[in-house]
């Protein structure tokens, strides 16, 4: 890509909050608990007009969340209640494209809409089974057999860009990435999980 075609380059880092959705959680009577993760990456922008620009980015993301469910162990006499807690961590390499529209009188705010495509880079699942407050079983897995190797969805973002000088800006971005693809490999209709992530990143922008 010719240098003159790139209006800005940006390096960013930040944190995210993941709360996936889907029929799996209601069908299994599970509670989803959002957890913080992280994201960092690089992006390039091209200004088509003063108002409209396009950003293309590559990010490494950690999307984390917990699920909790209560069950009754009827194999015991008398039966006992127990809880299963799964701590899930998904690692993705994400490519995204956003069309940004400059808004507001200050010309420092940008509303962006677009999409993303992610490649799964790793999975971490820690499971704890607790009977009456006592941990009976603990397991840890890095298997990706139950998780699709890719994901895609829509992005909505709001960015604020503050100029430091003629060459550099500081950019603060709020972003929601809504997954449209079932990330589980189970074909059953009641086993559907889709990603949903909210991110806050801070970046340094180099104006070309």
pLDDT band at 36 (very low <50, low <70, confident <90, very high): very high
Q: Tell me the mean pLDDT in the region 1-22.
A: 86
Q: Tell me the mean pLDDT in the region 130-134.
A: 86
pLDDT band at 187 (very low <50, low <70, confident <90, very high): confident
Q: Show the beta-strand stretches assigned E in the chain.
A: 8-18, 31-47, 52-73, 80-103, 109-131, 134-141, 150-163, 168-179, 196-207
Average pLDDT, the chain: 91
Instruction: Please indicate, yes or no, whether the overall pTM of this predicted structure exceeds 0.75.
Output: yes
Specify the length of the chain in residues: 208
pLDDT at residue 144, rounded to an integer:
84
Neighbours of 160 (CB within 10 A): 15
Q: Tell me the mean pLDDT in the region 10-35.
A: 91
Neighbours of 67 (CB within 10 A): 20
């Amino acid at each position: 890509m010719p240098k003159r075609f790139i209006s800005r380059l940006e390096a960013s880092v930040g944190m995210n909050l993941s709360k996936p959705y889907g029929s799996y959680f209601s069908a299994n009577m599970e509670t989803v608990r959002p957890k913080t993760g992280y994201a960092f990456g690089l992006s390039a922008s091209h200004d088509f007009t003063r108002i409209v620009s396009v950003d293309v980015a590559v990010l490494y993301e950690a999307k984390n969340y917990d699920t909790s469910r209560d069950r009754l162990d009827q194999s015991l006499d008398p039966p006992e209640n127990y809880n299963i807690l799964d701590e899930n961590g998904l690692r993705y390499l994400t490519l995204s494209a956003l069309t940004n529209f400059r808004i507001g009188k200050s010309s420092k705010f940008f509303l962006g809409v677009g999409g993303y495509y992610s490649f799964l880079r790793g999975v971490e699942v820690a499971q704890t089974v607790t009977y009456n407050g006592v941990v009976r079983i603990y397991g840890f897995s890095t298997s990706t057999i139950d998780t699709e190797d890719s994901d895609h969805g829509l992005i909505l973002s709001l960015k604020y860009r503050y100029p430091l000088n003629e060459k550099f800006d500081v950019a603060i971005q709020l972003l929601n990435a809504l997954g449209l693809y079932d990330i589980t490999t189970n074909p059953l209709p009641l086993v559907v999980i889709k990603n949903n992530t909210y991110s806050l990143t801070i970046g340094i922008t180099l104006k070309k």
